[in-house]
Amino acid sequence: MDAAPTPSDRSRPRRAAATGLALALVGLLSGCPEPDRPVGVPDGDRDRAASGDVGIGKNLLFISIDTLRRDAIGAYGSSRGATPAIDVFAESSVVFDGAWTHTPKTAPAHMSMFTSLPPSAHGVGNLNTTGAGRLSDSIRTLPEVLQDAGFATGGFTGGGNAKGSLGFDRGFDAFDDTGEPLYEKVRRAEPWIMEAEASGRPWFCFLHTYHVHDPYFPPPKYMERFVSGDYDGPILATKKAIRDAIEAGDDLAPDMQGHAKITWNYWFRVREKNPVDLAYLHDLYTAGVAHMDFILGAFLKRLMDAGIAEDTIIVLTTDHGEEFGEHGQVRHEQLWAELAHVPLMVMLPGKKYAGTRIAEPVRHLDLLPSLLELLDVEDVPLDQGGRRAWGAAGSSGSPPAARRASPCAR
């Protein structure tokens, strides 16, 4: 990464009296507040927050675990024990219990996070979507706004429907969309973060992975912990088993190549109405979640040990969940709660408001203006539908009440 000096014409906009921005995060995304009363903050902290004794974020690490079901996470009620690292992260974060996505598809969901626009407005769809193309140049994205504000920007995605060709590369100084598992993405992103931190500039890193996405091929160690050994159905749970079947002449997708051949040889063997197959699939998925959690936890621990969290906002979410026959289908083709009700956790610098849980409904559309507010960046593209929850502080330096919550602001 080239850590060039910040150009003078891209100096970072700052408010003269930027106070209470940790409170802003909670107020910004949480329901309809009472007039002149910040929401989501413990009563004992309101006076301290109003006086400005709350830190703000210098940097932003935005992590999206593609296809991560909310109820796979211990912090959201799972009893499987698959996410000890994420559960620890949740204890240090503000946890949103009512977060929702707008679509069960990777490209439009992530572009809504980046633009504060619904899929019907930004027009970006998955690569196999008829008529979908690259994001219009007239629409600004979170990385572009931050780059213009002087941030170093690095994007590391799993490729596929998060590729640069759809516009996800816009605004990034460094962008990598090679289709790699999470440990490889981390291996690329972590040195970039350390270099950006050493440069002294504010930085934004977007880390996206398909590590828990189908087809589900968890390592044997995790299969032993989460998958029943009694299954004797047709599902082949390793790439080797599928390749062996193909080589033996049992190719159920003869017209396909590469990853698509592996994927559909996997799914064409699934009996989608069979409860035994559905339970087996769910266990395989859970084992993959546990493997992801181990890798992510080690990565986050290294960042914490390096002191990154002291001035960095860390967001953990997903684009959508996954279905295992609850409504007659598998994967992510519908928009039931299993897919649309998503995890969202935000760790503030210094772990401000750790353990706070917000029950009111929030949307992915609210992330862009909310995060810019917390980073004290004034250049918010409000004409794209984004709303700030935290207006500019008045001349007294006291922050106003968080007055724009997504369900009641529009």
Residue 261 domain-assigned (yes or no): no
What is the average pLDDT value for the chain, to the nearest integer? Answer: 82
Burial class (CB in 10 A: 0-12, 13-18, 19+), 291: buried
Q: Is the pLDDT of residue 279 over 50?
A: yes
Residue 25 domain-assigned (yes or no): no
End-to-end C-alpha distance for the chain, whole angstroms? 40
pTM of the model: 0.83
Q: Is the pLDDT of residue 103 over 80?
A: yes
Those residues whose C-beta lies under 8 Å from the C-beta of residue 286, and which sit 6 or more positions away, are: 72, 80, 82, 226
Tokens 């698509």 locate to: 260
- Counting the structural domains of the chain, the total is 1
Residue 402 domain-assigned (yes or no): no
DSSP at 372: H
Residue 10 domain-assigned (yes or no): no
**Are the CB atoms for 314 and 278 separated by under 8 Å?**
no
pLDDT at 270: 94
Higher-scoring residue by pLDDT: 308, 37 = 308
Nearest in space to 155 (alpha carbons), one of 145, 137, 136, 169:
169
Residue 408 domain-assigned (yes or no): no
Q: Is the pLDDT of residue 323 over 50?
A: yes
Nearest in space to 49 (alpha carbons), one of 401, 309, 374:
401
20-79 tens-digit pLDDT:
333 435 454 443 333 333 333 444 443 434 434 333 789 999 999 999 999 999 999 999
| Per-residue confidence band for 328, with pLDDT thresholds at 50, 70 and 90 | confident
Q: Which amino acid is at 44?
A: G
Q: Could you give the C-alpha distances from 93 to 3, 66, 97, 281, 358, in angstroms and in order? A: 30, 20, 12, 31, 11
Q: Which domain holds residue 80?
A: 54-216+278-375
pLDDT at 397: 26
pLDDT at 383: 63
CATH assignment of the domain containing 177: 3.40.720.10
Residue 48 domain-assigned (yes or no): no
| DSSP structure string for 271-306 | -TT-HHHHHHHHHHHHHHHHHHHHHHHHHHHHHHHT
382-391 tens-digit pLDDT:
666 654 433 3
Q: Is the pLDDT of residue 410 over 80?
A: no
171-216 tens-digit pLDDT:
999 999 998 899 999 999 999 999 999 999 999 999 999 999 999 9
Residue 184 domain-assigned (yes or no): yes
Residue 145 domain-assigned (yes or no): yes
